Structure 1
Amino acid sequence: MRVRFLAAAGAVAAALLSVAGPARAQAAHPCAADAVAHARTLLAFHFGEDTELSVDDTAKTVGTVKALRGEGRFDVLEVWGFIYKAEYRMHFLYAQIPDTCALMGQEILEASDPY
């Protein structure tokens, strides 16, 4: 009887932990809206203003990279964009300076298999 109770208690604890995990969502980066705005501009720059394009309205922080000079680091924000059937991953590098969104670099890469 006691073993059955412990097994049930363990299952309840595991279920509660799995529910509580996603509830603690990561706070949005202060420059997320800026990255989304730059994503639309970057796609239009590469493919033309008259191209019908769309951009996800969320930017995800995917890590940091070391600055080319000095000891600083850049936050890397990822935004996805779409033109017809093509998908594009864009990374925007922001300097880690409080209360500012200093864009230091950007990259765009089509998510396709060329082979």
Structure 2
Amino acid sequence: MSRMIQSVRWPLALSILMLGGMASALAQTDSPVCAQEAREQAQRLLDFHVGGDDRIFIDPEVVEKAPLRNPANPKQSFQVLEVRGMILKGQYRMRLIYYRFEDSCVLMGQEILEYASL
């Protein structure tokens, strides 16, 4: 009986390890479409906002937010991507708004907000 239990444990343990490895690989590559464009645009936006500084840091994580309806055509929606950045002690949240057209990411809008307690 114990040999039978041991023979079942190995395939089960191996299956669990394989599933865990596949899940972590998917999580690492699961970035939103247009994420690379959003990081690049966030760098340019923050650079413009602070007047050019080589100490800008853009967080590599891009978070997809709820889509935004196109005000000119309610049948269309825009992808909203949030990127965080900082320079010295200043922290910023940037939201980049894209329209997906075939394989292209068309920038439709952007906003930047500095975190501050006033």
TM-score normalised to the size of structure 2?
A: 0.69
Higher radius of gyration, 1 or 2: 2
Match of 1:84 among 81, 84, 88: 88
Amino acid of the residue matched to residue 79 of structure 2? Answer: D
Greater helix content: 2
Aligned residue-pair number: 112
Greater strand content: 2
The equivalences for 1:1-115 within 5 A come to 1=2, 2-24=4-26, 25-26=29-30, 29=33, 31-50=34-53, 52-56=55-59, 58=60, 60=62, 62-69=64-71, 70-110=74-114, 114=117
Over the aligned positions, Cα root-mean-square deviation in angstroms equals: 3.0
Structure 1 residues 95 and 64: CA distance shift in structure 2, 3 A: farther
Unaligned runs of 5+ in 1: none
Structure 1 residues 64 and 95: CA distance shift in structure 2, 3 A: farther
CA distance in 1, matches of 2:23, 2:97: 28
Percentage of identical aligned residues? 32
Structure 1 residues 98 and 63: CA distance shift in structure 2, 3 A: farther
Structure 1 residues 20 and 50: CA distance shift in structure 2, 3 A: closer
TM-score normalised to the size of structure 1?
A: 0.70
CA distance in 2, matches of 1:34, 1:12: 39
